[in-house]
Amino acid sequence: MQIRPRRNRKSAGIRALVRETQLSTDDLLFPIFLVEGKNQRKPVDSMPGIARLSLDGVLKEVESCMQLGVRAFDIFPVVGEQLKDKIASYSWAEDNFYLHALASVKAHFPEAVIMTDVAMDPYSSDGHDGLVGDGRILNDETLPILAKMAIAQAQAGADIIGPSDMMDGRVGYLRAALDDEGYEDVSIMSYTAKYASAFYGPFRDALDSAPKFGDKKTYQMDPANRLEALREMQLDTEEGADFLMVKPALAYLDVIRLLKDNSELPIAAYNVSGEYAMLKAAGERGWLDYERAMLESLTSIKRAGADIILSYHAKEAAQLLR
Ligand code: PBG
């Protein structure tokens, strides 16, 4: 007798029976870039297929995604340079177009899951995620700013806030601040293991949010580190996070698996802008089959242990999964 694993691969029907990982539209969360104004559609050059949309376009995008079965969205604002300052005050301003847009999306689509990003960079004249003083990123002084931003987003209707700044102690600080204001139902998806990665380049193009000096290495994690992700996991868990995220995804599949094996919390992975751009660029040149490579990538992120995948491919993936 010879053991023949190929018997379980002999037809599509058998392969479906033994398939271990099922990618579903339920797993996907679609990031969207919002600009101020009306009828705006500004393509992001480094992210073919992705554009910065004004609210009218965002509403259409959300609607078509919902019809395809993608119900969760992470909305990021493109903030004009003239609105930026040292303390990111526009992030909680009364007349902030982003906050108004969130409320509008929520009013049109109450069943949609709306996630927001909590970090100073899109609103900061320094382009950093934290407050800058004497050329350094100040941790504890940043926390009250993040809290104001988070509360404003919760008030606008965010279901999940996503602290993406990697300041120490932010999850506990934000949890307490939200609870104090009566937003105990607002969830926190912590960017738990967020690496100082080159793969965020296209995102910073889209938001025009690159740091004005230096880099983010004193707060985002060193790509070489694994145990440090466990340490961040423990802290975010103790501080009350509802979801733990690993970011980027494809170059950090081992970290996704590490967190999945060591936590009871749902694990999310952010398939970031640069990962999207790579597949698009190669696909456009005819160097690989974009659709297959995309589904393979998303499946591998799920196989690694991600329960939730944030991805710019989400809408296209949903079209193929249908
Ligand atoms: C902001 C933020 C970034 C991303 C999500 N939130 C950029 C950064 O940290 O520089 C990156 C997302 C992507 O590349 O798709 N703190």
Instruction: For residue 219, tell me if it sits in a domain.
Output: no
Ligand 1 atom with the shortest distance to the CA of 210? 10
With respect to residue 223, please indicate whether it lies within any of the assigned structural domains: no
158-174 pLDDT, tens per residue?
999 999 999 999 999 99
Split into its structural domains, the chain has a count of 1
The reply to whether ligand 1 has any atom less than 6 angstroms from the CB of 200 is yes
Enumerate residues 6+ apart whose C-beta is below 8 A from 76.
Answer: 31, 32, 33, 34, 117, 122, 206, 207
| Ligand 1 atom closest to the CA of 129, numbered from 1 | 16
pTM listed for this prediction: 0.97
Residue 222 lies in a domain: no
**Domain-embedded: residue 185:** yes
Mean pLDDT of the chain: 98
| pLDDT, mean of residues 115-121 | 98
pLDDT band at 94 (very low <50, low <70, confident <90, very high): very high
Share above pLDDT 70 across residues of the chain, in percent, rounded to a whole number: 100
Residue 221 located in a structural domain:
no
CA distance 322 to 309: 17
Q: Report CA(34)–ligand 1 centroid distance (Å).
A: 15
pLDDT in tens, 202-213: 999 999 899 999
Q: Quick check: is 212 catalytic?
A: no
Q: Which is the catalytic residue, given 10, 148, 212, 247? A: 247
Phi-psi region of 39 (alpha: psi -120 to 50; beta: other; left: phi over 0): left
Tell whether 147 is covered by a domain: yes
In a domain, 220, yes or no: no
In a domain, 239, yes or no: yes
What is the model's pLDDT at position 126? Answer: 97
The answer, yes or no, to whether residue 322 has pLDDT greater than 90, is: no
Looking up residue 241, the CATH number of its domain turns out to be 3.20.20.70
> Any catalytic annotation for residue 247?
yes
Q: What phi, psi does 147 have (nearest 5°)?
A: -65, -40
Q: How high is the pLDDT of residue 215?
A: 95
Q: Which domain holds residue 133?
A: 5-212+228-321
Question: How wide is the angle at C-alpha 268 spanned by C-alphas 271 and 227, nearest 5°?
Answer: 95
